């Protein structure tokens, strides 16, 4: 029945032709005028059917074109970035955003550039700032070693000599501690800064920077292809949910418990800070190591500067 309804015009034409044809063959009751009229009627039905089929084809072509256009738009929702394009995209993302979500290894670029620049913009524009940071747990020796092994395997050889030195579990631990310290230090100096730090035992292979305007996915080697997804695209929303779920499975630090820090924190202040956060430094960490953590936290150099 569905087929008959869809091809009703053709069914009418064929049925009319067969009825008139059979009557003409087997009966003398049909005059030539009736036969001619029926022939014209059948021809008209065929023409109507042809026009209807043409409209169907146009509709099918339009539907196929719409599908192709949507597929192209879906492909265009991801843009590739390389080299200076990544720095430019990150810089543009920092201009107006009041939200920054980060997930990565130890947050070296975050504390060297992103965090201080976002804080400075918030102060200049007198607005609030929300930051969510997800990094490798420095108290998880296995995770630190796994991340160091990953970096040694895929070291891009960028930055100065200090940055190119071999990654180790100890270095990973110090870098993560430095990011926690930087978050606490900035939080205590900007009342409108809402910052959360989560510590993960899952080693990431990519970095995610999500802002109000876009999502930027990068690798440790900026010479490789990196990705940018504009807000409003499905992939942006997918990763927004994915990053939230990742934080839910990580350890959240209560930064409100952090001990006060001076403008140039002392070793004792930093040790007390981590104890208050239930992230006490291992006994093997010397005062010299703590001094290095402080330097990394507050005076970090941009690892990808030109």
pLDDT in tens, 51-105: 666 677 766 677 766 665 555 455 567 899 987 899 899 999 998 899 999 999 9
R_g (Cα) of the chain, nearest Å: 34
Considering the four listed CATH numbers 3.30.870.10, 3.90.470.20, 3.40.50.150, 3.40.1160.10, the one that applies to the domain covering 80-153+165-299 is: 3.30.870.10
Bridge partners of 193? Answer: 129
Helix, strand or coil, per DSSP, at residue 192: coil
Q: Which residue has the tokens 């490789």?
A: 224
- Pairwise pLDDT comparison (135 vs 26), residue with the higher score: 135
Taking the C-alpha atoms of residue 292 and residue 165, their distance in angstroms, rounded to an integer, is 15
Answer whether 94's CB lies under 8 Å from 118's CB.
Answer: yes
- Pairwise pLDDT comparison (162 vs 52), residue with the higher score: 52
Residue 98's Cβ-count burial label (10 Å; 0-12, 13-18, 19+) is middle
Instruction: Say what the pTM is.
Output: 0.74
Answer whether 181's CB lies under 8 Å from 111's CB.
Answer: no
Short-list 200, 195, 239, CA closest to 217: 239
CA angle 15, 16, 19 (to 5 degrees): 85
Mean pLDDT score, 108-132: 94
**What DSSP state is assigned to residue 197?**
E
The per-residue pLDDT for 231 is 92
- pLDDT cut 90: percent of the chain above it: 60
Q: At a CB cut-off of 8 Å and minimum separation 6, what does 132 contact?
A: 100, 101, 102, 195, 196, 198, 243, 247
CA angle 160, 91, 241 (to 5 degrees): 105
The 3-class SS string of 84-138 reads HHHHHHHHHHHHHCCEEEEECCCCHHHHHHHHHHHHHHHHHHCCCEEEEEEEECC
Indicate the domain borders of the chain: 1-76, 80-153+165-299
Confidence of residue 162 (pLDDT cuts 50, 70, 90): very low
């Amino acid at each position: 029945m569905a087929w008959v309804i869809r091809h009703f015009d053709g069914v009418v034409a064929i049925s009319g032709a067969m009825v008139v044809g059979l009557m003409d063959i087997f009966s003398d009751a049909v005059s030539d005028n009736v036969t001619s009229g029926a022939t014209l009627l059948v021809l008209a039905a065929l023409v109507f059917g042809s026009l209807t089929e043409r409209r169907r084809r146009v509709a099918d072509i339009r539907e196929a074109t719409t599908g192709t256009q949507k597929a192209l738009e879906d492909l265009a929702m991801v843009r590739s970035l390389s080299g200076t394009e990544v720095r430019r995209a990150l810089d543009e993302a920092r201009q107006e955003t009041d939200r920054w979500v980060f997930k990565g290894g130890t947050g070296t670029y975050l504390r060297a550039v992103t965090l201080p620049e976002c804080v400075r913009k918030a102060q200049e524009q007198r607005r609030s700032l929300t930051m969510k940071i997800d990094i490798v747990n420095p108290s998880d020796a296995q995770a630190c070693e796994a991340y160091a092994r990953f970096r040694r395997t895929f070291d891009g050889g960028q930055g100065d000599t200090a940055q190119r030195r071999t990654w180790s579990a100890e270095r990973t631990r110090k870098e993560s501690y430095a990011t926690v310290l930087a978050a606490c230090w900035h939080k205590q100096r900007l009342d409108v800064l809402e910052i959360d730090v989560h510590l993960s035992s899952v080693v990431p292979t990519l970095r995610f920077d999500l802002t109000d305007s876009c999502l930027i996915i990068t690798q440790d080697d900026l010479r490789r292809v990196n990705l940018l997804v504009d807000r409003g695209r499905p992939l942006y929303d997918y990763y927004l949910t994915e990053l939230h779920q990742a934080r839910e499975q990580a350890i959240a630090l209560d930064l409100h418990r952090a001990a006060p820090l001076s403008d140039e924190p002392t070793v004792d202040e930093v040790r007390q800070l981590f104890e208050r956060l239930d992230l006490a430094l291992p006994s093997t960490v010397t005062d010299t190591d703590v001094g290095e953590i402080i330097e990394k936290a507050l005076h970090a150099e941009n690892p990808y500067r030109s």
